[in-house]
Amino acid sequence: MKNLIVFFLFLFVLTISREAFAQVYKTEGGNVEFLSKAPLNEFTGKSEKLNGLIDLEKNDLDFFIDLNTLKTGIGLRDRHMRENYLETKKYPFAEFVGKIKEKVTIKPGESKDVTAVGKFKIHGIEKEISVPGRITATSNNEIKLEASFKILLSDYKIEIPKVVFYELAEEQTVSISAILKK
């Protein structure tokens, strides 16, 4: 009997502490933007459907986006992007799973520059990347993440035909801005 009480007490404390220190923030409406800067054509693609999770206790990161939600402002260009370049029917998601290098303990109003390392996957190809970013605690249960990184399309086997070379850049700048809630 006594053992049982000890056991439940132990379990209770365990649950309490987990509740109190759980540092898991999530979003389903983060912003993603990519910038393609080619000699003859500069354009951006945007989505407001970035899904993300940050666990500040375990320093885990998990982000993904449905690439079908990216819009460049020209419908036909979107269709060609989905069908010919990203091949979204086969590979609908771009994702990043990784860890934050630094331990983040910030109070509301404070921010901290961080580096995330992990695997970025798009077009079915996974690569280890390192992304500098900034985390801001906007309130007790809300944090803001801003990050930007560059990717080379050839690294992910997204081929640009020669005739299109002047309209689509090989190097794309990806920017992320998201508010995550507890």
Partner 1 sequence: MKVRFILIMFFLSQPIMAQLERKLDNETQEVDLIFHAPRHINLLTVEPLDKKTLHFAIMHTFGPLNGGVQNLFGLDNGANIQFSFEYALGEDFSLGASRSSRDKFYNLYGRYHLLKQTQDDAMPISLSMMGGAGVNTSDYTFLQNENPSFSERTSFAAQLMLARKFSDKLSVQVSPMMAYFTDPNPIFFIEGDQNLYLAVGLSGKYKITGRSSLTFQYIPNLNNDLRNNVGVGIDVEAGGHVFQMYFVTSQALNEQYLLAAGNGRIGEEFRIGFNVNRVFATGRKRK
Q: Which residues bind partner 1 (CB under 8 A)?
A: 3, 7, 10-11, 14-15, 18, 24, 26, 49, 51-53, 55, 58, 60, 62, 64, 66, 68-69, 73-77, 79-80, 82-84, 89, 92-93, 95, 97, 159, 161, 163-164, 166-167
Beta carbon of residue 47, minimum distance to partner 1 (angstroms, whole number): 9
Torsion on CA atoms 152, 155, 157, 161, rounded to nearest 10: 40
**Nearby residues of 155 by Cβ (< 8 Å), 6 or more positions away:** 125, 127
Nearer to partner 1, 73 or 124 (CB): 73
Residue at token pair 């049982």: 4
Q: What secondary structure letter does DSSP report for 5?
A: H
Nearer to partner 1, 21 or 107 (CB): 21
Beta carbon of residue 61, minimum distance to partner 1 (angstroms, whole number): 9
Beta carbon of residue 46, minimum distance to partner 1 (angstroms, whole number): 12
Residue at token pair 């910030």: 106
Nearer to partner 1, 47 or 172 (CB): 47
Residue at token pair 């080379």: 152
Q: How is 59-84 classified by DSSP, letter by letter?
A: TEEEEEEEGGG-B-S-HHHHHHIIII
Nearest alpha carbon to residue 82 among 172, 29, 155, 158: 158
Alpha-helical runs (H) found in 61-182: 75-80
Q: Indicate if the alpha-carbon torsion angle 160, 163, 165, 166 is positive or negative.
A: negative
Nearer to partner 1, 13 or 110 (CB): 13
Beta carbon of residue 166, minimum distance to partner 1 (angstroms, whole number): 8
Nearer to partner 1, 20 or 107 (CB): 20
Nearer to partner 1, 107 or 128 (CB): 128
Beta carbon of residue 172, minimum distance to partner 1 (angstroms, whole number): 18
Beta carbon of residue 109, minimum distance to partner 1 (angstroms, whole number): 26
